[in-house]
Chains A and B, each alone.
Chain A
Amino acid sequence: MDRRTVLKVLTASTLRAANQCGTSSDLAGYQFAFFTADEQALVERLMELIIPADDHSPGAKAARVPAFADLMISTSSDRVKAAWRSGLAAFAKNPEAALAQAAAEESAPKSELAHFFIELKRMTVDGYYTSTIGIHDEMGYIGNQHLTAAPACDHPEHKGS
């Protein structure tokens, strides 16, 4: 999908979300268009396993990454849709075990399971780290700031070296 198409789709979905529930942020109230109810539940589970909630920030589910994925896939080609449908089916029986098995092959994927894991992880990463939760709560991004002095690095792992 090229940038122009993505922008069109995102604009359309933002307007749709705005019409649905009066908010234009973070896909709140998004109506799923591609995933079945079972698939949606499975995607939520898999994505939360990939980027879980921890004591630092919420995970993929709270960041509405499944809705992001649904938006991207529902506006993609039939080939992409078919790949997600069959890819998810392969994870349905035992998601935890399938994920561990696929991730073991990540650096040199050969099986269909591993190839789909790479797609699934990429979608999770892209959706999560572009969400408010991912970019602000998790990564601590505060946007461009005016600084009157250059501050020292405050990361604990960089102290004393």
Chain B
Amino acid sequence: MFPFQARTVPGYGSEFKRRVREMQSGFLMLGGFCKVTANSGNRVTVDPNRKDAHGIPIPVVHFRYSEADREIYSSMRSSALAITERLKADVTQLPSVEPSGFASHENGTVRMGNDPKTSALNSFCQSHDVKNLFVTDGSTFPTSSEKNPTLTIMALSLRAADYIKERRKRGEL
């Protein structure tokens, strides 16, 4: 396996080379995954003034970690450090103090729900306002864990497809 510790072991020269070699048999990388809590302040809007090269208004992404998100992250960080301490590990890279994402699953923004006041789609991915508009991707999620969303997106899409078929037969779409 590629010795990933070589990217974090400090220094250079023969001592660096020896340390990378000796760490190879016991190199351990800890990674934490958690959800970002659903927050109405985190949303995508359309810029009223600026347009892209095709004349389409550009999206504006609003995103901030909440206090709860920071607490979850801080707890994961402390747990990871406690594990390395117990292991008496030689730590070559500390986790950052601020939360960050490198394997993120962005979901939400066109959330589904029963109340048109707090959601854009019904539970069949159908727009509350425009009956022949369906959204079948991760943007439909009202909230999301940190887990991979593709299978859930596929399941919701199949469910929406069945719904469209039935409604179409009845002449409602």
Contacts and interface: CB of A to CB of B under 8 A. Distances in A.
Q: Do A and B bind each other?
A: yes
Interface of A: 49-52, 54, 56, 59, 99, 103, 106-107, 121-122, 125, 129-130, 135, 138-141, 153, 155, 157-158
A49 B13 CA distance: 6
A139 B18 CA distance: 10
Interface string B21-64: 11011000000000000000000000000000000000000000
B2 interface: yes
Q: Is the interface of B mostly helix, strand, loop or mixed?
A: helix
A23 B25 CA distance: 32
Interface of B: 1-3, 6-7, 10-14, 16-18, 20-22, 24-25
Contact of A129 (B3, B14, B16, B22): B3
A115 B74 CA distance: 28
A52 B17 CA distance: 8
B71 to A, nearest CB: 27
Given A99-B12, A135-B2, A157-B22, 11 more contacts: A49-B12, A50-B13, A51-B17, A52-B17, A54-B18, A56-B17, A103-B11, A106-B10, A125-B6, A125-B7, A158-B25
A51 B2 CA distance: 15
A138 B18 CA distance: 9
Contact of B16 (A50, A107, A135, A158): A50
Nearest to A117: B12
Contact of A106 (B2, B3, B11): B11
Contacts of A56: 17-18, 21
Nearest to A121: B12
A73 B2 CA distance: 21
B13 A122 contact: no
Contacts of B1: 141
A142 to B, nearest CB: 11
A138 B17 contact: yes
A148 to B, nearest CB: 21
A106 B8 CA distance: 10
A103 B60 CA distance: 40
Contacts of B16: 50-51
3 smallest CB-CB distances across A and B, nearest first, come from A50-B12, A125-B6, A54-B14
A125 B6 CA distance: 6
B21 A139 contact: yes
Contacts of B21: 56, 138-139
30 contacts: A50-B12, A50-B16, A51-B12, A51-B16, A51-B17, A52-B13, A52-B14, A52-B17, A54-B14, A54-B17, A54-B18, A56-B17, A59-B17, A99-B12, A103-B10, A103-B11, A106-B10, A107-B10, A121-B12, A122-B7, A125-B6, A129-B2, A129-B6, A129-B20, A138-B21, A139-B24, A140-B24, A141-B1, A155-B25, A158-B25
A138 B21 CA distance: 7
B170 to A, nearest CB: 46
A106 B9 CA distance: 10
B113 to A, nearest CB: 36
